[in-house]
Amino acid sequence: MSEKRQFFGTDGVRAVANRHPMTPEFVLRLGQAAAAVLGSRAAGGERPRCIIGRDTRASGEMLESALIAGLNSAGVDVVLAGMVPTPAVAMLAAQTGANFGVVVSASHNPFEDNGIKFVHGNGRKLSDKTEIAIEKIVLGNTEEATRPEGRGIGRVSRMADSVERYVAHAVASMGGLRLDGMRVALDNAHGAASYTSALALEQLGADVQVFHSEPDGFNINEECGCTHSEELERLVRQSQAQAGIAHDGDADRIALCDEEAIALDGDELMAIAAESMLRKGTLKQNTLAVTIMSNYGLDDLVSRLGGRVIRTNVGDRYVLEEMHSRGLNLGGEQSGHIIFGDWATTGDGLIAGLQVLKIMKETGEPLSQLRKCLKKFPQAARNLRVRSKPPITELADAQKIIKETEKKLGDYGRVLLRYSGTESLIRLLIEGRDVEYLEAQADKIASAILAQIG
């Protein structure tokens, strides 16, 4: 059985700032451990280098300082990129030949929380195995590299043009196409995008109406950003924009809204992009990578256009792993982590937004029209309270009905059954074309489950 991670979740280590494990003491140790695992010395004996970026949270200053101390004490030079999105750190690490990058951010969480995310020098996220290796050193379960002294101790410098470099990279992703005459409502969630996204859109000639872009350390994600689609819809109505873009705190995610002020989800964004790329012949292997949560309407659309969809566990890191192993250039999650692999090594809210605006410009179609390419399959869902959680394979009667249902649905539907990680619940989702059949089968499977463990 694979080892469990104690501190790392689906996206780094995250907790309330100044409460374990997000204390300066822990973060200092985390920096030392990361240096031992990720900071191999160059051939000429040069000190390893790490790039650090952070979002706008007040606690970011404290945790960044602890991280610097940990890295310097382990002989790593630190380059501070300042307040920039997570994808900017990934891009800058790869562009400057750093050994690794670190982001101090808790993404879409409220300001009280903070987190630490690492990327390799090539801009890619860490594997579970690498995170476990770092944890073992933090916990003192394995030897770490000796601490250098004298000239071996790491130094700190600042990157003056981190924002400009990232913005130039995002603008280049448009291939020379401009957005003159397009009005865009932009919600920066008072986060890291406050310094980058409007600059990129303005350089491309868009008429940008900027909102929620006055970070004070405490207002990040507060009633705004990509987890509040109702606010983006309001802003699009207010500014009469042709499109709305919202980010989360570290701008690796995006929410989009059409000109009729109706928000799109990540599946609709991926459908628009996949259709465009399949028609142009630019979708590598003709394959789109998504998680098990994505709607089967995507499979239907992509297969009709001669492509295919592959699915991974929930979490953009698993989508990224699949994309890298298969050489794919488009993937993502329903939640708005969209990865355009030709331009980013991780979810990038700005680049994803620009690529969709580019398709609008190229086709002359509004978003309300483009989104119609995805015909979502209906779903029947049940959340059932259970008294125990035996392996799902042991729910014999339910499994029998599930097998019958899957056979009937064939390639055009699926049954998902999984326990909640935090509550005494089992979650059932059936997706297919016939709503009445889905509801009837959901009731049958639910009854069988409840009879056994309800």
The per-residue pLDDT string of the chain (454 residues; one tens digit each, 9 = 90 and over) reads 467 888 998 789 999 999 999 999 999 999 999 999 999 876 567 899 999 999 999 999 999 999 999 999 999 999 999 999 999 999 999 999 999 999 999 999 999 999 999 999 999 999 999 999 999 999 987 777 778 999 999 999 999 999 999 999 999 999 999 999 999 999 999 999 999 999 999 999 999 999 999 999 999 999 999 999 999 999 999 999 999 999 999 999 999 999 999 999 999 999 999 999 999 999 999 999 999 889 999 999 999 999 999 999 888 889 999 999 999 999 999 999 999 999 999 999 999 999 999 999 999 999 999 999 999 999 999 999 999 999 999 999 999 999 999 999 987 888 999 888 768 899 999 999 999 999 999 999 999 999 999 8
Other C-beta atoms closer than 10 Å to the C-beta of 410 total: 8
Phi and psi dihedrals of 184, rounded to 5? -125, 130
CB count within 10 Å of CB 327 equals: 10
In this structure, the answer to whether residues 346 and 447 fall within a common structural domain is no
Give SS3 for 12: strand
Q: What is the CATH number of the domain that holds 265?
A: 3.40.120.10
In 3D space, the residue among 143, 103, 101 whose CA is nearest the CA of residue 123 turns out to be 101
Any domain includes 309: yes
Range of the domain at 273: 164-373
Q: Domain for residue 223, yes or no?
A: yes
Annotation-wise, does 248 bind a ligand? yes
In a domain, 5, yes or no: no
Judge if 20 and 78 occupy the same domain: yes
447 annotated as belonging to a binding site for a ligand:
no
299 known member of a binding site? no
Query: Looking at residue 14, what is its pLDDT?
Result: 96
How far is residue 141's CA from residue 136's CA, in Å, rounded to a whole number?
Answer: 5
Boundary (domain end) residue, out of 102, 127, 159: 159
> 3-state SS of 296-345?
CHHHHHHHHCCCEEEEECCCHHHHHHHHHHHCCCEEECCCCCEEECCCCC
Active-site positions read 107
Residues 173 and 127 in one domain: no
Residue 313 and residue 432 share a domain: no
Read off the CATH number of the domain in which 399 is found.
Answer: 3.30.310.50
User: Do 104 and 119 reside in the same domain of the chain?
Assistant: yes
Structure confidence at residue 339 (pLDDT) = 97
Q: How many whole angstroms separate alpha carbon 429 and alpha carbon 415?
A: 6
The reply to whether 281 and 389 lie within a common domain is no
Whether 188 and 226 share a structural domain: yes
39 and 154 part of one domain: yes
Q: Are 255 and 226 in contact (CB under 8 A)?
A: yes
Residue 4 lies in a domain: no
251 and 151 in one domain?
no
Query: Taking Cα atoms as reference points, which of 103, 119, 11, 99 lies closest to residue 63?
Result: 103
Give the end of a domain, one of 345, 373, 401. Answer: 373
CA distances from 114 to 59, 81, 134 (A): 7, 18, 19
Are 50 and 143 contained in the same domain?
Answer: yes
> Does some domain include residue 180?
yes
Count up the domains in the chain and report the number.
3
Does some domain include residue 433? yes
Q: Which of 100, 132, 159 is the last residue of a domain?
A: 159
Residues 204 and 334 in one domain: yes
Element (H, E) at 356: helix 349-363
Claim to verify: residue 357 and residue 438 sit in the same structural domain? no
Angle (deg, nearest 10), helices 266-280 and 297-304: 10
252 carries a ligand binding annotation: yes
Give the per-residue pLDDT at 364.
97
